[in-house]
Amino acid sequence: QKEVEQNSGPLSVPEGAIASLNCTYSDRGSQSFFWYRQYSGKSPELIMFIYSNGDKEDGRFTAQLNKASQYVSLLIRDSQPSDSATYLCAGGNNNDMRFGAGTRLTVKP
Amino acid sequence: SAVISQKPSRDICQRGTSLTIQCQVDSQVTMMFWYRQQPGQSLTLIATANQGSEATYESGFVIDKFPISRPNLTFSTLTVSNMSPEDSSIYLCSVEVGPQPTQYFGPGTRLLVL
């Protein structure tokens, strides 16, 4: 069974802190990994994708991929209350993408 | 990326009736997907809809309950048939675009079955 697992949280961090979201996956053949942000009542919005081992930075967001450990993470620097949402991790290949259950993040002012 | 619209955005339906949800994309895409997301839960894939072929359903979902059409590369419909309160959920369509398999989601259809 191909699975993507996340800690459901909730994760609470103070404003300005670094939020660290983690994800593991079971399928070693997975090549592509994504982080989506989902605000309450809204649909998932793609915020980061990563295909290669290492770090990928985009503004306040850094995605980290370690294929040997089958581990993906998302760091949010200088967290803002507007970052409060559920973050979904996804991984897989063409036509076979698996989503984690999501981690609920709350950034407290 | 892709711009995706869904109709209706929300609906309240009676038990035993059917509802057809439409998904429209602003560009031609090969892969379209239909998901269900129940309150507080993650996404559950219902089926993959390819143009010109039968939809591929995930375990636990059947064509009689969730018939899907994919008449062209920009449009798909999902019908929720013979609805029961357990079908109350958000239904999302997504498309896969780009050289890497990146999925983008529509705004969703919020369904309440009484």
In terms of Cα–Cα distance, which of B18, B51, B34 is closest to B106? B34
pLDDT at B15: 97
- The pLDDT tens digits of the residues spanning A55-75 come to 999 999 999 999 999 999 999
pLDDT at B97: 86
* Interface contacts (A, B; CB < 8 Å): 45
Show residues of chain A in contact with B34, CB under 8 Å: none
Number of H helices, E strands in chain B: 0, 11
Give the three-state DSSP class for B15.
Answer: coil
Q: Which residues contact A57 (CB under 8 A, 6 or more apart)?
A: none
pLDDT at B39: 83
In terms of Cα–Cα distance, which of B11, B12, B29, B18 is closest to B105? B29
Amino acid sitting at position A91: G
Q: CB–CB of A91/A98 below 8 Å? A: yes
Give the three-state DSSP class for B86.
Answer: helix
How many Å is the Cα radius of gyration of chain A?
Answer: 13
pLDDT at B54: 87
Task: Give the residue ranges of chain B where pLDDT is below 70.
Answer: none
Choose the closest CB to B102 out of A46, A93, A102: A46
Q: Does A46 touch chain B (CB under 8 A)?
A: yes
Task: Give the residue ranges of chain A where pLDDT is below 70.
Answer: none
User: Closest residue of B to A94, CA-based?
Assistant: B101
- Taken in order B86, B90, B93, B98, the sign of the CA dihedral is negative
Give the three-state DSSP class for A82.
Answer: helix
Show residues of chain B in contact with A43, CB under 8 Å: 90, 92, 105-108
SS3 for B37-75 is ECCCCCCEEEEEEECCCCCEECCCCCCCCCCEEEEECCE
